[in-house]
A and B are shown apart, each in its own frame.
Chain A
């Protein structure tokens, strides 16, 4: 359960980490001597930095150390190699990655055109859309879970076969819905930050179809926002445990980790560390992509 908690919090925790890294950059950058009033802030910034660093680093270091203790008491990478050798864990990791990828693509395909359409043509629906997309946060997940479980139990057999038999079809649509509060807001913020109408009109008058306008003009200019939405969706898919266990999908990573954690806690901690590292890598590639863009006028979501 501890491990799950770590993975589940990977998103927000990583966000905090990102902000911190920003701080380091700023404090560490060579600053032109700006006079005496600059002497104090670095001092107390440094204190906060150290505290924050310890706050994040200490549990992480402890977890790393714990994951390196092998069942015979010696140090080594046994727990990590078990992840790879344990077929069930490996399969569940693949399944979860597949779910994440499909959900992320679906979120972008669904949300970007919707947001653009509403901003351009149906501004009156903005409020409705904001209300609808926040629902997954307002309705407790347990309600959604029991609803789905009920459907699972009472649906005709062909539907169960088609929809619920595999976590890929059973969970992905649910995660797309669960990710809506974040994905909609991330993309909407990005689209608000550009002069959508003018860019679309310019693109259209130059002969671009709607598809071209969306992929060649809008998407590159809200790239960071879309990456943010993808990131949040992936974090959700890699950490969600309530729905998947209620719907009895045991072969996805988070649920698998609970099971492994019961028998060999070292392995489950190792998995959670890998998940955390994965999230960090995702975050850094995001920041990197955002910085690479020379014409970076788009909004930084993270």
Chain B
């Protein structure tokens, strides 16, 4: 088990990590998700031993490893930048870690071939890194990290330099490999679909802090904070008013609030609602009008403009919705609990809803 205990890292006055607490169970894949500059790489580098915390400590199975140098940590790392050694062929790259462990040549090269088999690149074993594509290089890097049979695998956006198809494929490969080997993994990404699809648990980070750490489903359905809600998935902001019993009134419906945070009854708030948590009904006396309709295959995405000018995104199954642009509709909220944000706080520019 890995534990970050109040880990801080300051660069001058900049706090790259402002007290990170995180626990990763054995065999688990945790994805750290957050906007650029929120401290994901810093957290990973500290766990790998390439950087040192200014405060706090790191525990592995209850043992404090804060002062242990990188080469004694037994952690395999795959980097965002291409990191294969240019002077060695693929096989020797993979065998490098074993060579450092003084394993004899024949057995380490054989082990390297086994790992290359695992990532499907044995036939390229004699090539040099510059003769491989980006995706192949990252696969070799994964094989190289796994060759030392590390306790922990650290992945720093290993797929960000690759095109969408290769990325989707490698995602599945990495996850399968990780589950098969049961290796504890910390995965850093700023791609929410990557985090949601691969991880056992997702940690949403902002400004050097963990906002929420939970299963992908819970992070998506029950975000702990407004930031987490808006960073993961598309989100509507609808004006509402706090009720007396920790509830909120939005579009004439009463919903419970996930993060009341001591807001006064009657206080104006904005409720955050996923497009699929809202449905439309054909209604000539309805509150809004459909202004855009995007067919997405399995679903349809509608943009409804309310009479007050408020835009609402709605995503519905393409079976149910027969409305055209220009139809007047009424809105119904399907969720019964929402996250609220204080009005006037503009959404983080990094967190503009990504329409997946």
Contact = CB atoms under 8 A, between A and B. Distances in A.
Interface of A: 194-195, 198-199, 201-209, 212, 216-217, 220-221, 223, 293-295, 297-298
B100 A295 contact: no
B176 to A, nearest CB: 23
Listed residue (B48, B83, B128, B129) with the most chain A CB atoms within 10 angstroms of its CB: B83
Given A208-B71, A295-B130, A221 B87 contact: yes
Interface-centre pick from A205, A209, A293, A297 (highest chain B CB count, 10 A): A205
Contact of A201 (B79, B88, B148): B79
A295 B48 contact: no
B256 to A, nearest CB: 47
B86 A295 contact: yes
Which of A199, A201, A223 is the most central at the interface, judged by chain B CB atoms within 10 Å of its CB?
A: A201
A75 B75 CA distance: 72
Size category, B interface: 20 to 34
28 contacts: A195-B83, A201-B50, A201-B77, A202-B77, A202-B85, A202-B141, A204-B49, A204-B50, A204-B70, A205-B70, A205-B73, A205-B75, A205-B76, A207-B71, A207-B72, A208-B71, A208-B96, A208-B100, A209-B71, A209-B100, A216-B96, A217-B85, A217-B87, A223-B87, A293-B87, A295-B87, A295-B128, A297-B130
Interface of B: 45, 48-50, 69-77, 79, 81-88, 96-97, 100-101, 128-130, 141, 144-145, 148, 154
Nearest to B78: A202
Contacts of A201: 45, 48, 50, 70, 77, 79, 83
B144 A206 contact: yes
Contacts of A209: 71, 100
Contacts of A212: 100
B58 to A, nearest CB: 15
Which among A202, A206, A207, A220 has the highest number of chain B CB atoms within 10 Å? A206
- Which of B69, B72, B100 counts the most A-chain CB atoms under 10 A from its CB? B100
Contacts of A194: 86
By Cβ-Cβ distance, the 6 closest A-B pairs, closest first, are A206-B97, A220-B87, A204-B70, A295-B128, A207-B100, A202-B83
B71 A204 contact: yes
Give the interface centre of A194, A204, A298 by most chain B CB atoms within 10 Å.
Answer: A204
Contacts of A204: 49-50, 69-71
Contacts of A298: 86
A217 B87 CA distance: 8
